[in-house]
Structure 1
Amino acid sequence: MTDAPLVRRHTDLAVAVLTLDSPHNRNALSAALIAQLTEALDAADADPQVRAVLLTHTGSTFCAGADLKAGGIRSGPRLLVELITRIATLTKPVVARADGHVRAGGLGLLAACDIPLAGSAATFAFTEVRLGLAAAVASLPVLVRADPRAAARYLLTGEAFDTAEAVRIGLVTAHAEALDGILAGLRASSPQGLAATKEITTAQLRERIAATSAGLEQQSIALFESADAAEGIKAALERRDPPWAI
Structure 2
Amino acid sequence: MTLVATAHERGITTLTLDAPAKRNALSARLVGELADAFTGCAKDPSVRAVVLSHTGTTFCAGADLKEPPNPYTFVALLRQIVEHPKPVVARVTGHVRAGGLGLLGACDIVIASTDSDFAFTEVRIGVAPAVISMPLLPRMTPRAAARHYLTGETFDAAEAVTDGLVTEAADDVDSALTPVLDALRRGSPQGLAESKRLLSARVLETFDQYAEDLVQRSASLFATAEAREGMSAFLERRDAAWVR
TM-score range, shorter chain: over 0.9
The residue aligned with 1:65 is 62
User: Which residue in 1 is equivalent to 2:2?
Assistant: 5
Matched position secondary structure for 2:24: coil
Quote the RMSD (CA, aligned, Å).
Answer: 0.9
Tell me how far 1:141 sits from its aligned partner: 1.0
Match of 2:21 in 1: 24
Runs of 4+ in 1 over 6 A off after TM superposition: none
Question: What is the Cα deviation at residue 178 of structure 1?
Answer: 2.5
Q: Does 1:81 align with 2:75?
A: yes
**Which structure 2 residue ranges, 5 or more long, are not aligned?**
none
- Secondary structure at 1:83's aligned position in 2? helix
Separation (CA, whole Å) in 1 of partners of 2:31 and 2:43: 18
SS in 1 for 2:7: strand
* Residue aligned with 1:149, SS: helix
**TM-score, length-normalised on structure 2?**
0.96
SS at match of 2:32: helix
The offset of 1:71, in angstroms, is 4.8
Consecutive unaligned residues in structure 1, runs of 5 or more? none
Whether the 8 Å contact between 2:28 and 2:68 is mirrored in structure 1 is: no
Q: How far apart, CA to CA, are the structure 2 residues paired with 1:229 and 1:149?
A: 26
- 1:210 corresponds in structure 2 to 208
Q: How far apart, in 2, do the equivalents of 1:51 and 1:35 lie? A: 22
3-state SS of the aligned residue for 2:74?
Answer: helix
1:153 aligned onto 2:151: no
Identical-residue share of aligned pairs (%): 52
- CA positional deviation for 1:47: 0.6
Partner SS state of residue 118, structure 1:
strand
Measured in 1, the distance between the counterparts of 2:77 and 2:68 equals 18
Which residue matches 1:50? 47
User: C-alpha displacement at 1:245, in angstroms?
Assistant: 1.2
Alpha-carbon distance between aligned partners in 1 of 2:131 and 2:226, rounded to the nearest angstrom: 19
On the 8 A contact 2:99/2:132 being kept in 1, the answer is: yes
Are 2:122 and 1:128 aligned?
yes
1:24 Cα deviation from its structure 2 partner: 1.4
Helix, strand or coil for the counterpart of 2:160?
helix
The correspondence for 1:236, drawn from 212, 234, 237, is 234
What amino acid maps onto 1:207 in structure 2?
E
- Tell whether 2:34 aligns with 1:33: no
Cα shift readout 1:166-212 (whole Å, capped 9, x = no counterpart): 00111001123531111011001111100000000000110000100
The 3-state SS of whatever aligns with 1:39 is helix
* Contact 2:91–2:112 (8 Å) recurs in 1: yes
Range with greater deviation from structure 2 (166-175 or 63-72):
63-72
Query: Secondary structure of 1:8's match?
Result: strand
Q: 2:191 aligns with which of 190, 193, 206?
A: 193
Deviations 1:124-148 (A, max 9, x none): 0000000000000111111011111
- The answer to whether 1:93 aligns with 2:96 is no
Using structure 1 for the length normalisation, give the TM-score.
Answer: 0.96
- What amino acid is the match of 2:158? A
SS in 1 for 2:242: coil
Give the aligned length: 240
| Maintained 8 Å contact 2:94/2:115 | yes
Match of 1:178 in 2: 176
| 1:121 CA displacement | 2.4
